[in-house]
Every structure is written in structure tokens, then in C-alpha cells.
Amino acid sequence: MDATNFPPLKNDRVLRAARGEPVDCVPVWIMRQAGRYLPEFGEFRKEHEFFEICQTPEYACEVTLQPIKRFDLDASIIFSDILVIPQAMGMEVKMEPGKGPTFPCPLVTSKDLDKLVFDPEEIADHLQYVYDAITLTRHKLEGKVPLIGFAGAPWTLMSYMIEGEDQKRSPKPKSGSTQIQRAVKAGAQLLQMFESHAGVLNEYLFTKFALPYLNKIANGVKYLLNENKLDPAPMIVFAKDGHYAIPLLKDSPYDVVSLDWTLDPVKCRDLLPGKTLQGNLDPCALYSSKEDLEALTKSMISKFGKTGYICNLGHGIYPDMDPEHVKWFIDCVHNC
């Protein structure tokens, strides 16, 4: 399908919020919004393996659209996984039921790196199924909401790929920039970088092993988009459990900083002037009664303010969540 002539966008709240522009109401989307808590996803998974869905554009598109059909969300996020990049580099990754992702042959010594693919274009070519899924989904959305693309940050990918703590080489930032730029070319309108394992670092280690590469990727993406005359795509960074990292992101090239549920929005506003913030309801709050959930949601939004803010959870939604509580949460956000 042609990655041009996309349907006109009808709801640009999340894009406006990412740019710090006024919105008529707070936009909301949910990390892992296409996933196991949805009965329709469970039925689909009975017939298809996890990575089969990721690697089949029609399947990834169908699953991506499931929460959009059910809820009044302000953005969609392509169904994929951050570990498709290690797969494209030549590693085997399995999704084990009840266990999650596993690497049958992790990196153990530096010699194992010789088995990997590091060429950015070759990796991106291997991931063409992701870009095809993005293009197809962008058309199938019919302009209802923007489409988010995402990737895992180098430190997080490395921590999955190795065994032991003595390896310091990670997927190259240039490779990340190439892959994400191709996602925009395919139709993604926002981009999120997941630094999911920031919590195992301290400020010094984050500054040495994570932040420089996060920034290189964002700068590289913006450069490539400009060089290829593609529309700018706001970029979101999520350093989960990295409370120490918030001040360090003040001067980063990211437009939006996503906060986990342990962080105080008021303090983060002071630490990140000029940045749009995203987050940060505790996912467990969705287990609450509807009355308590509404109160928690209103309290959170009052702390963030309604400008320069994208509502989300402080991490991914849990697989046993009641979809009715998800709907209530979304409606509460829009009614604030």
C-alpha cells in the first residue's frame, strides 16, 4: 500500500499537545492499549502467535485498531514489540506464555557480537513488515486519530540481549535513527522511545550509557526527516523508573517526556520547562471503583494542567484489566 495520500486527520489533539499548543480537551492514549486485557485480542491470539502478529502487517493492523474501535482514544500505537530490533540483528527471540520474551542464545562474550547484523539499512530492510503495518494502519484509521510508532532505546535492548554485566556495546544509535525515520516515512505521526530499564542505572551510568544514545537517535531522526523533506514528528521519551533522569532530559531533543507513576507532575513541570509531559496514572488505579478512579484522574490532571499534557498511564496496562474501567478512565479524562 502506498505510503502517501493518507486520509485527512480528524483528531489532532495529541499532536497539538505534543507541540505545546492549546487543545479543546486533554488527549489520552494508553501504553499497551492493544493487548491481552481486550477479549477480542485474546480470541485473536488463540489463532496466532505473538511474533506472527507483529510480522504480518494485516494482523498487526487489525490488533492495532481493536482499542480504537472500542474506546474514544486520541491516538493509536502500532502493535509491535521493541525486540523486533534484536531479531533483525540476527538474534532469536521467543515469547513464552506466562514468562514473556526469552533469548535462547543471549550474548555471553564479545565474540557473540560478530554474529550480529549492525548495518542500519540491512536492519531496517528486515523490519519492512513493521513499516508496511504502519502504512496499512494509517490508511485503515481513516484519519480518526494519529498513529504512534515506537522503538526500544539502546540500553534497554542491550540489557535484553546480553547475559552478564560486562558487555557495553549496544545497537548503534545510527541504526535506531534509520529505523525510526523509516517509520515516519511509512506513516507514523509521533514516535516514542522506550528506555524501559532506566531503573537499573544511576545518574552517572545513565549519563554515560543511555542519555548520549537517546539524544543521538532523536537528533538523527530529526535530521533525516528534514533531509528527506518529511513532516516533523514529535518525539516522546520514556525512561521508566529513572527519577534521577528527569533533570537530565531538560535539554534533550525530545518534545515530550513520559513520566512513570512514581513521579510528581508538579515537580517535573518545574524541572522540564517547555516540555510537554505525558503520564502518569498508576496502572493499578484502574482496579479502583469508578468513583475513586474518577477522583484519581481529576487529581492527576489538576497537577499536570491541561496545556502541554498528554494523559496516559505511568506504564503499560495490566492484562487482567476490566475494559469497562478503561472506558471510564478515558471518559473521565475527556470530561475534565
Catalytic residues: 32, 36, 45, 81, 160
| C-alpha span between 65 and 39 (Å, rounded) | 14
Instruction: Give the up-direction half-sphere exposure of residue 50: CA atoms within 13 A in the CB hemisphere.
Output: 18
Find all residues with CB under 8 Å of 242, minimum gap 6, and list them.
Answer: 195, 198, 199, 201, 206
Contact 188, 78 (CB under 8 A): yes
Enclosing H/E stretch for 195:
strand 190-195
SS3 label, residue 149: strand
| C-alpha span between 305 and 310 (Å, rounded) | 10
50: exposed, middle or buried (Cβ count in 10 Å: 0-12, 13-18, 19+):
middle
| C-alpha span between 229 and 334 (Å, rounded) | 35
Q: Which residue has the cell 502500532?
A: 78
SS3 label, residue 26: coil
| C-alpha span between 153 and 223 (Å, rounded) | 18
